[in-house]
Amino acid sequence: MSLPQKHWIFDKLGIQFDRTQPATNTRPSADAKVDDHYQPLTKSPDSSVVSQALLQSVNKVFEQHDTPSLCLKVPTRSVSTVDKTSIYRWTDENGQVHFSDSKPKQQVSREVTHRYASGKQYFRLNLSSPEQGLPTLLGEYLERDVNAIYGYLSDRMEPNHLRQVDLNLKVFNTPHGFEAYRLEHAPSLTSVAGFYTSRNNEAVVMRQAHDQQTRAIARHEATHVINAGLFGRSPIWFNEGMAEYFEHYDYAKLKAGTTQSNPYILNYLASLAAQKGLPSLEDYLQLSDTQWRANDPKAMYAMAWSIIYLLQSHQEGERFTRKLLSEMAENPCTTLDAVSFWDNHYQGGLAKFERRWQATLQKAVD
């Protein structure tokens, strides 16, 4: 049973337990593909401590890619490969019931693992902080966020397409530590707040001034790790769109399965559209990785987010998404003809979806 699963069980039971997240070491590896880094357009307003205006004032630093010549689908396992763990129950002298994953030495306890252990495990999270260790609450929030992302995806995929992914997430507390690690593992990058390498399937994040920002960047990079495990090298509009979608997500709405809008991005796209500054969706979906990155990055990321957002906001889009995920899981690393796929699997084809997309942008400024 994974740590997030144990935390979920204890939280559901209202049980107090040790939430300390120890620092661990991840295995170093030479970098094969420096993939994804992003500091977002805006952050989800999930805390009253940091205002939306402050989060939007953070400068966006865009991802840089060293695209590999071969598709690298990272190793995965069956979701039935579950980490072994134990859960013990005991009652103290005051009659208070306690649960723990280690057998207490001074108490008479009873093992109750069979009641709570899951038969499936969708990811193994290795969260580490090489410098000073993660604050307890931040570490738990990051685990919770990643668990919710994978749960959201798994609800939309066929059971036989699900694979257990190793998710190595490394958080640096200082720019010096992050920069030293970047120079060793991703020397082709310049000023970044996070990156993903497929060789060791690792997302690396620099801790930000506010934990919300750190979590948002981590969600973005973690999504790339999950995508790599499930689909191999996916279309850039999908890979970045999903990462943007989860980066901007509020945890409570993600768990509830509701679709979260982002007025800032929609208004930005509507403004560009009014100035004839956006390509058509047909042209956008056919951009190669090189062409995509040669365009205005802010517009490219925003369009990617808007496509995934719109797909999740109506029934036909959800149905299409399930077909898309199934296609990519069955044929990892293959080149997807997105326009043809839309025409064949979305009622009314890409033309109808684009009309809905344009109407969504117009509604944002009406």
- The phi-psi region of residue 92 (left if phi > 0; otherwise alpha if psi is between -120 and 50; otherwise beta) is beta
* pTM recorded for the entire structure: 0.72
Residue 274 lies in a domain: yes
Measured CA angle at 85 (ends 83, 88), to 5 deg: 160
Residues contacting 249, CB < 8 A, separation 6+: 44, 219, 260
CA distance 157 to 135: 34
Q: Contact, 179 vs 348, CB < 8 A?
A: no
Let me know if residue 290 belongs to a domain: yes
Q: What is the mean pLDDT of each run of 10 residues along the chain (366 residues)?
A: 45 43 34 35 36 37 45 59 57 68 64 52 75 76 83 84 80 92 80 78 88 90 87 92 91 77 94 94 95 93 97 95 95 90 98 97 90
Residue 114 located in a structural domain: no
Task: Specify the pLDDT at position 149.
Answer: 86
Task: Identify whether 97 is part of a domain.
Answer: no
In a domain, residue 113? The reply is no
pLDDT at 264: 94
The answer to whether residue 99 sits within a structural domain is: no
Give the structural domain span for 125.
3-80+119-365
Q: Number of structural domains, the chain? A: 1
Residue 194 inside a domain? The answer is yes
Contact (CB, 8 A) for 339 and 282: yes
Angle of the 3-12 helix axis to the 136-154 helix axis, nearest 10: 100
54 occurs within a structural domain: yes
